[in-house]
Amino acid sequence: MRSESFLHSVESNFDRAATLLGLSSDLVEKIKIANSTYVVRFGVRLRDGLQTFTGYRCVHSEHFEPVKGGIRYAPYADQDEVEALAALMTYKCALMEIPFGGAKGALTIDPREWEPQELEQITRRFTQELAKRGLISPSQNVPAPDMGTGEREMAWMADEYKKLNPTDLNAWACVTGKPLGKGGIAGRTEATGRGVQYTLQEFFRQERDVKKTGLSSGLDGKRVIVQGLGNVGYHAALFLSQHDGCRITHILEKEGAIVDSRGVDIAALHEHMNETGSIEDYPGFTKSGIEMLEAEADILIPAAMEGIINQDNAARIRTPLIIEAANGPVTAAGDATLRDRGVVIIPDFCANAGGVTVSYFEWIKNLTHIRFGRIQRRQLENQFEALIAGVEALTGKPFPVAHRNEVLSGTTEINLVRSGLEDTMRGAYSAISATWNETDSVPDLRTAAMMIAVDRVAQSYISIGI
């Protein structure tokens, strides 16, 4: 039921945007419905004998190829959820102007129930099933990490694909989110959380948008609730607290919450979680759980599951600004309630697009077979050294050390990745804000973002005569 409501929420937003754009009904149908969904069932001989697993790979739109989308390992994964996530990927890539179609995959499995060597066997068999059907390929279908998967699983998948295609020069581009030693890119692990930070920074540059929340300008001192301290929630909370002066007053996890009005030390809490496996026994722990979404704060960041804010609790949410770090955390009914109450929501397919943006950079790196900045870094460093020497000679004063280091480190891969990510996130949010503020019929940021995305997909079809 949760997955059906998720798909319904995505399609409801699409329908609203398509109506406002005035698209023809046949084109609307073409864009809305998934191109294909594959269900694979395969056996793996493990400790208890032959085990059968069910996996999914949905291709929502091939208006650009390859199609792009993560693979999650979750015990509740099903076809409706995968199709909803694949549709979101189509709109996300279009919104961020990334030349990928949308896809998504899943394996119905709880990865915590299996030993690493068993999980590797399962992942490699799943990769074989995908490869048979062209559902993993540098030129057609490029998976990435999602919930329950990470660098390790992507390395296994890439290695298995390479074994199956030993003469493919670009084989390592078949997935993104790999470890650095296996063709990954600096900054990929932090990318989604970093993108949330960049999006919030841009929101607070838009005075018209901030005014609608009733919040004061700037992020400094803002009280933030983060639901879910996985990879995305952790990095978003860490960067916002360390770089922007936010106070992370509430951290919500499945076993309870950490509450500290002065601001939770995110790095220390994360270390505690790594050591103990939970947030329990950390200062400020309370068994109060999901109701903490309704606590008083300035910004709410749902960063875990879809459907966590719905018709049952939306009326009690007290934060004036929500930024969706997870996919689909607000249902269609919850969204309508919040919109009627004047709560501003930065939608998921904008806010959490940092991951696919940096995945795009990784894919490019793999295809070009060269690390970002490798050719020009020393040449630019020599130029800046000469410039700094000239400034020092003219002024008679030494160039500040901090500024010197910043200037000379400008073309490392991590700096280039972060620069490209910031530019992408800021540009996307700025376009959404303009559509929202300058078009009377657009009720919220979600509709504005969907209108931009759907129009771009529509134009790609129209340009080839569809």
Tokens of 174: 């078949």
Q: How far is CA 357 from CA 60, 89, 196, 453, in A?
A: 18, 11, 12, 15
At 409-454, the pLDDT tens digits run 778 899 999 999 999 999 999 999 999 999 899 999 999 999 999 9
Rounded Cα distance, 133 and 277, in Å: 38
**pTM, rounded to two decimals:** 0.93
Handedness of CA 328, 201, 187, 277 (dihedral sign): negative
User: What pLDDT, on the 0 to 100 scale, is given for residue 2?
Assistant: 44
Which of 458, 461, 455, 460 has its CA nearest to residue 435? 455
Q: Residue 115 carries which side chain, given as an amino acid letter?
A: E
End-to-end CA separation in angstroms for the chain: 34
Position 4 pLDDT exceeds 70 = no
At 179-197, the pLDDT tens digits run 999 999 999 999 999 999 9
Position 211 pLDDT exceeds 50 = yes
Q: Which residues are catalytic?
A: 104
**Top-level class of domain 37-182:** alpha beta
Q: Where are the domains positioned within the chain?
A: 37-182, 191-351
- How long is the chain? 466
Rounded Cα distance, 302 and 314, in Å: 13
Would you state the torsion angle of the CA atoms of residues 260, 264, 289, 343, taken in this order, to the nearest 10 degrees? 90
Task: Return phi, psi of residue 307, to 5°.
Answer: 75, 15
DSSP percent split of the chain into helix, strand, coil, nearest 5: 50, 15, 35
Rounded Cα distance, 27 and 18, in Å: 10
Rounded Cα distance, 450 and 453, in Å: 5
**Same topology for domains 37-182 and 191-351, yes or no?**
yes
User: What pLDDT, on the 0 to 100 scale, is given for residue 176?
Assistant: 98
CATH topology (fold) of 191-351: Rossmann fold (3.40.50)
